[in-house]
Amino acid sequence: MKIRSILFALLAVAVVLSGCAKKAEPVVEAPKVEFKVGLVTDVGGIDDKSFNQGTWEGIVRFGRELNITEGVDYKYLQSAAEADYVPNLSTFADEKLNLIIAPGFLFASAMGEVADKYPEQKFLIIDTVVEKPNVVSAVFAEHEGSFLVGVAAGLRAKADGKKIVGFIGGMKFPLIEKFEAGFIQGVKAVYPECKILVDYAGDFGAPDKGQAIAQKQYNAGAYIIFHAAGGTGNGMIKEAKERSEKGDIRWAIGVDKDQYADGAYGDKSAVLTSMMKAVDVAAFDVSKMALDGTFPGGTTLVFSLKNNGVGIPQTNPNLSADIIAAVEDYARQIATGTLVVSEVPGK
C-alpha cells in the first residue's frame, strides 16, 4: 500500500508539471518568394570556367539566398550560336521572368531588339551598353585589371630571367583590346625590355584554337600567356598545364574568375594569377535590385578598381610577396586616379 501511495503521488506531480510545461510554438514556414531570373549564355556555354560560369555563380548565390528553386525559379538557356540569342531571350521573356541576364557584348543587337519587343520585361546586359529604359548595362574597367596581371607577368618573367610573354584574345573587338592594352602597359611598366606576342583566335568557344595558338607562342619563347578569350582560353591553360607537368614550366593567366584550379596538376597549378571581373556581383546586385523594386533601368553600372569590380584573386600561391605588394601599389595608384591606364593598345 505504501508503494502504491508513492506511485500515485509521483503520477500527480507529473500531471501538474506537464500542465505547466510551455506549449511548443507551431512551426510557420516563411512565405515563398515569387521571383524568377534567367541567364542566356553566349556560345561559350554555362561551364566555360570563365564569363558565363561566373555570371551564373552570381545568380545561384542569389537564388540560394532567397531559397528559390534552381531549374524553376532561376535557370539558364545555352546558345550554340549567335543566331540563338534572340530566340533564347524571347523564350524567357514569353515566360515573364522577373529578370533576364545576358553576359557579353555580342548580345548588344539581340538585346536591343528583344527589349523593344518586350518593353515591360527587365533585362541586364553585361559588358556593353544597351540604351533602353528596361535594360541595365554593367561594364567593367578591364584595362585596369589587365594592367595588374601585366605587372605580375612582367615581374615574374624578369625574376626568372625570361624575356617574352604573350596575350591571346578571343575576337578582335574594342572590348577585348582593352585587355590587351592594359596587359601590355602593365608589363612595360615593370619590364620595358620584355617582348609581348599578341594573337586573336576569332572565337570565344574553341579551346582547340586556344591551345594551338598557345603552342605557337610557347614555342616562340613565351613564358607567360594571358588570355581574354572565354572558353577558347581554356585550351591555353591546358597547354601550359601539360608542358609544366613534363617539366617545361610555362604559365597561364586566367580571366573573369579565379582559374587557379583549372591549371592544377598534382599540388601545383600552371595558372600564375587571374584577372577577375565581378560579373557574379553584377548579376547578384541587379537581381537584388529587381527584387527590391529599385531596378535602375536605362542606367549603366561601372565596375572598376575603385569599387573592387576588377582585380586579382585574394590568394595567389604562385606570386611572391614582393610581386603582390607591387601589384597592390599599382592598384592603389589606379584606383585613386594617380595612374591612368589607356583602353587602346599602343597608346
| Domains assigned to the chain | 37-140+279-306 (3.40.50.2300), 143-276+317-336 (3.40.50.2300)
* Gyration radius from the chain CA atoms: 26
> Residue 24's pLDDT is what?
52
State residue 226 phi and psi, 5-degree precision.
-105, 135
> Residue 247's pLDDT is what?
97
Q: Are 265 and 239 in contact (CB under 8 A)?
A: no
- Any idea what DSSP says for residue 43? T
Q: How many residues in total does the chain contain?
A: 347
pLDDT tens across the length of the chain (347 residues): 444 444 344 334 343 444 444 445 554 455 567 899 999 999 888 988 888 999 999 999 999 999 999 999 999 999 999 999 999 999 999 999 999 999 999 999 999 999 999 999 999 999 999 999 999 999 999 999 999 999 999 999 999 999 999 999 999 999 999 999 999 999 999 999 999 999 999 999 899 999 999 999 999 999 999 999 989 999 999 999 999 999 999 999 999 999 999 999 999 999 999 999 999 999 999 999 999 999 999 999 999 999 999 999 999 999 999 999 999 999 999 999 999 999 999 87
> Residue 118's pLDDT is what?
98
pTM of the model: 0.83
Q: Are 168 and 233 in contact (CB under 8 A)?
A: yes
- Any idea what DSSP says for residue 163? -
> Residue 49's pLDDT is what?
80
> Residue 8's pLDDT is what?
40
Q: Are 62 and 284 in contact (CB under 8 A)?
A: yes
Q: Over the range 86-107, which residues count as b (16 or more CB within 10 Å of their CB) and which as e?
A: bebbbebbeeebbbbbbbbbbb
Q: Are 280 and 301 in contact (CB under 8 A)?
A: no
Q: Are 40 and 89 in contact (CB under 8 A)?
A: yes
> Residue 25's pLDDT is what?
56
